[in-house]
Amino acid sequence: MTRDPGVYALPPAPVDLTRFFIPERMTQLFHTPGYAGLSLEKRRRYNQLTGLFLNEMLVFFEDILAETVLGALLAGPLPKAVAEQLAAFRWEEQRHAEMFKALNRKAAPALYRGRDFHFVRVPRAARLLLDAAARRPRLFPLFLWVMILQEDRSLYYSREILKLKDVLDPSFVHVYRVHMADEAGHVRADLDLLERYWAPVPAPWRRVNARMLRWIFGEFFTVPKRAGLRVLETWAAEFPDEAARLPYWRSQLAALPASRDYHASLFSRESVPAAFAGFDRWPELAGMSRELRAYVPGGVR
Ligand SMILES: [Fe+2]
Ligand SMILES: [Fe+2]
């Protein structure tokens, strides 16, 4: 059962640029010592740009990946009920991708003229590698963990955004509310898929998958790299005094991976409960604690 496509339409009112888009804790710079000294105008603009960046991440990892992984699973033999469930899942992710892209175009038309990604630009070699592996989810079921981590976290983001629904931009609040309604079902579907495609894999091959999973998180999620720097640079380009301080801000971002608070803001028992509970079941995933520092194997925080 899929929803009426009309629910994914954006509200007609323009995006309110006098408001923050997301909770401040969801941004990278918030976790640096320099952030508290910034003016409201600068904090708000950084927050808005990060909101756009997080939307791009959702489109890239949740939806493009779901398309590749679910598309590949649907192309193979599946029980009819599972195939129907995955087809609905895929349909919803397609609607989400359109919705988040439309939100970014509405919030920042100049950044998204003729393209869907401004901040997230995966190097071609990495993209080819990810695509090649994600198209073979039976061999590389690690992508199911990427999916559940992203979807679990998007639920948390929606909850956090809804807590500030009277303060944040109404279009962002609307989109995250609509998204949340579908994602709880996706997390359940991911758990079923892990049961189907991770559990039966021999332990040595699960360990290989676990190593690849760690690489993906270190490369794309936990360390501010290319996209996080592009958010910073786009922001600084709007404030000449901050452009002059770019080396300082870069060094602040570079120090973030050592911050437990920063790691906890990305992935924690609170934000990705289903994914971490899933990790607990598999000894080869205990090493995820090296990339996701707030993960303590066995459920203790
Ligand atoms: Fe989604
Ligand atoms: Fe999803």
Neighbours of 217 (CB within 10 A): 19
Q: Give all domains of the chain, ordered by start, each with its CATH number.
A: 19-290 (1.10.620.20)
- How many other CB atoms are there within 10 angstroms of residue 27's CB atom? 25
Buried b / exposed e across 169-180, counting CB within 10 Å, b at 16+? bebbbbbbebbb
Kindly give the distance from the C-alpha atom of residue 163 to the centroid of ligand 1, in angstroms, as a whole number.
Answer: 20
pLDDT tens digits, one per residue of 278-293: 999 999 999 999 888 8
Residue 83: CA count within 13 A, CB half-sphere: 8
Closest CA to 171 of 107, 220, 251: 107
Expressed in angstroms and rounded, the spacing between residue 148 Cα and the centre of ligand 2 is: 8
pLDDT at 190: 93
Q: What's the 182 CA to ligand 2 centre distance in angstroms?
A: 7
- The pLDDT of residue 301 is 45
Ligand 1 centre distance from Cα of residue 134 (Å): 17
Place of tokens 């332990």: 203
User: Can you list the residues of the chain whose pLDDT is less than 50?
Assistant: 301
Q: Whole-model pTM?
A: 0.92
Rounded Cα distance between 147 and 151, Å, is 6
C-alpha 284 chain-centroid distance: 23
For ligand 2, the distance from its centroid to the CA atom of residue 261, given in whole angstroms, is: 26
What does the pLDDT read at residue 299?
Answer: 64
